[in-house]
Chains A and B, each alone.
Chain A
């Protein structure tokens, strides 16, 4: 089988999800052995510019230049993988959408804000068609490998649509609500093996919301622990603000 030509591209993000690839260690050579990475600006000076079999896209789309660039990548690539929360759901960059854009530009850059154009933060699929989603901030490497295998076999990958609680319970963690703090596990898509709660912190919702959350159940939990709704909404908006853009 001819190895697929792969390009790795970044938009507005911290580039931590790309780094997760290097963090695989020596085994990354096996991953890289099954594909032909032809463009990856962060670690390669080589430039490709031709058609691609797979484009792995990190980051969210936040300005007109980025819109054009992602459209070009979509045209060149047979398969587009949105990689990491910024790409799949807009991620933390979406918090910007809570503010008037001119106001936030002036707050950060003062009088010279005009030099720094910005638009409402969008996830990649809100601009172009996306074929595969790898959620997470950062991505969970076992899931990335699973997605990559699916891509190479030409079969779909379904992101789990049940909540993080399912995995969390299997790991026998004490529920964060029982530890008297608010956790977004009940409404967040699983697939990370409850990474944060395993480490005794709360779920921040970085993998996006389940498509059919048990709203009644969630309300009961909030009522039981006397947690105000606006607190939970504010939490959801840390990663999931862009969902409002449809």
Chain B
């Protein structure tokens, strides 16, 4: 076994969003190469934003990713409003939190059921599950559809939301819409209970590697997703405006995504990072689920990111119910509906500025940063997405994992590595839009 050679080359890793390759080389029993290559065709979003109106930024950057379209929308709006000096109303913040919850739920369900569960159930995709586990597939699709239907009501649609814009919402849900959403959310509880029951039975691989976890943190009682400072399990805390000191990006030649490091050689973002930093702020029902699946902070098994997603799903469902109930009780101010377009009527005062948005999206903390001139035209843009922050950490995980499982067959090693990468729920379609690069020779 000492002198073993292994050459694993997974081209176009499946069941992830976007295109990535895994390369592992073991020469005479010694790990030689271990890489996650991001080979997605670069799309140059930050470059394309230059010269466009700050009021178009949300519409354009939503198109970075169809899965986290609402997350990009919210980070983009936050950055634009920061640049313009707009403070959103309390009602707007509530509705945005609700939107983020729906996106989190939708994305986590997609990942848990359609992308991860096939591995744990020993099949290649959800397609064979249509026959073998029909009720499970139906439940997953039903839950996803519910999230989607609620987004239809709230912002017109989930993939590339329509009514969430700089300054607020072009259209607000009516009283009957709120009733409809509340009904859908409450009916979802049954399916969520069944999801928890199913997930509690799934067996995740055992593997641990201590690393630094980074997520939004705050000083109030809320599980921070939309608003907060940047914090880490190594004790870092700083304002979102300083995000560049945190992400510290550098380019590696084999990947169209940049890598990031903070206090150590790499750090991790995502559901597990949020759980590790903020688990005490979760909804009581989510805490119960964490206990039931044996998840407690600080958890350093990256495969359990999926379990953390489950815990967050419960939290988001319950908190979404509270928000809608609150909106129903206080009743909405419909005079806050706004139509802005390209700000043709100068309804919003424009100034030169530099704004940062930092939002927790399903895969981790997302940064948008825009600089604008005095006419509100974007002169510089930067988007740092969760997957590019995680890539370095995934590679360090692989470097520790591969030597530990060298006694297994090639196929088993490949599957273990694929599952590891998949557990981070990488969104490679996003991971191409990066700038301010420091080149580091590997």
The answer to whether A20 touches B15, judged by C-beta atoms less than 8 angstroms apart, is no
Q: For the complex, is B345 an interface residue (Cβ under 8 Å from A)?
A: yes
The answer to whether A200 touches B337, judged by C-beta atoms less than 8 angstroms apart, is yes
Contact of B48 among A19, A104, A182, A234 (CB under 8 A): A104
A60, chain B: closest CB distance, angstroms: 9
Q: How many residues of B contact A (CB 8 A)?
A: 72
Q: Which residue of the partner chain A has the closest CB to B124?
A: A45
The answer to whether A44 touches B15, judged by C-beta atoms less than 8 angstroms apart, is yes
A37→B254 CA distance, assembly (Å): 32
A20→B340 CA distance, assembly (Å): 27
Q: Which of B327-361 contact A (CB under 8 A)?
A: 337, 339-342, 344-345
A166→B439 CA distance, assembly (Å): 53
Q: For the complex, is A48 an interface residue (Cβ under 8 Å from B)?
A: no
Q: Which residue of the partner chain B has the closest CB to A32?
A: B130
A43 and B165 in contact (CB under 8 A), knowing A29-B138, A199-B156?
A: no
The answer to whether B142 touches A15, judged by C-beta atoms less than 8 angstroms apart, is no
Cross-chain pair count, CB within 8 angstroms: 215
Q: Which residues of B contact A213 (CB under 8 A)?
A: none
Q: For the complex, is B42 an interface residue (Cβ under 8 Å from A)?
A: yes
A52→B270 CA distance, assembly (Å): 38
A25 and B148 in contact (CB under 8 A), knowing A14-B69, A15-B67?
A: yes
Q: For the complex, is B12 an interface residue (Cβ under 8 Å from A)?
A: yes
A172→B143 CA distance, assembly (Å): 32
A109→B118 CA distance, assembly (Å): 36
Q: For the complex, is B284 an interface residue (Cβ under 8 Å from A)?
A: no
Contact of B145 among A26, A42, A107, A202 (CB under 8 A): A26
A115→B441 CA distance, assembly (Å): 13
B197, chain A: closest CB distance, angstroms: 20
A103→B16 CA distance, assembly (Å): 31
Q: Which residues of A contact B17 (CB under 8 A)?
A: 15, 42
Q: For the complex, is B283 an interface residue (Cβ under 8 Å from A)?
A: no
The answer to whether A96 touches B124, judged by C-beta atoms less than 8 angstroms apart, is no
**Which among B83-91, B405-413, B429-437 touches the partner chain?**
B429-437
Q: Which residue of the partner chain B has the closest CB to A63?
A: B41
Chain A residues touching B, range: 35 or more
Q: Mark A172-198, 1 if CB is under 8 A from B, else 0.
A: 000010011111000000000001101
The answer to whether A110 touches B43, judged by C-beta atoms less than 8 angstroms apart, is no
Q: For the complex, is B160 an interface residue (Cβ under 8 Å from A)?
A: yes
Interface hub of A11, A95, A196 (most chain B Cβ within 10 A): A95
Q: Which residues of A contact B118 (CB under 8 A)?
A: 45
Q: For the complex, is A137 an interface residue (Cβ under 8 Å from B)?
A: yes
The answer to whether A23 touches B124, judged by C-beta atoms less than 8 angstroms apart, is no
A28→B340 CA distance, assembly (Å): 36
A13, chain B: closest CB distance, angstroms: 7
Q: Which residue of the partner chain B has the closest CB to A91?
A: B63
A28→B127 CA distance, assembly (Å): 12
Q: Mark B29-45, 1 if CB is under 8 A from A, else 0.
A: 00000000000111110
Q: For the complex, is B141 an interface residue (Cβ under 8 Å from A)?
A: yes
Q: Mark B229-264, 1 if CB is under 8 A from A, else 0.
A: 000000000000000000000010110100000000
The answer to whether A110 touches B439, judged by C-beta atoms less than 8 angstroms apart, is yes
A10→B228 CA distance, assembly (Å): 35
A92→B393 CA distance, assembly (Å): 31
A198 and B156 in contact (CB under 8 A), knowing A16-B67, A25-B141?
A: yes
Contact of B66 among A18, A46, A183 (CB under 8 A): A18
Q: Which residues of A contact B12 (CB under 8 A)?
A: 41
Contacts A43-B114, A137-B160 known; list 17 others, CB within 8 Å: A12-B41, A15-B18, A15-B67, A24-B141, A26-B145, A43-B14, A43-B125, A44-B14, A45-B118, A98-B48, A107-B46, A107-B47, A109-B42, A111-B437, A137-B63, A195-B156, A201-B339
The 8 closest A-B pairs by CB, nearest first: A16-B66, A181-B341, A25-B145, A199-B156, A110-B437, A200-B170, A44-B125, A104-B47
Binding site for A on B (CB under 8 A): 12, 14-18, 40-44, 46-48, 50-52, 56, 59-60, 63-67, 69, 110, 114-115, 118, 124-127, 130, 137-138, 141-142, 144-145, 148, 155-160, 162-163, 165, 170-171, 251, 253-254, 256, 337, 339-342, 344-345, 429, 433-439
Q: Can you list 12 contacts pairing A with B, beta carbon distance less than 8 Å? A: A14-B65, A14-B429, A16-B65, A20-B159, A23-B158, A25-B141, A25-B148, A26-B138, A42-B16, A116-B256, A138-B160, A180-B344
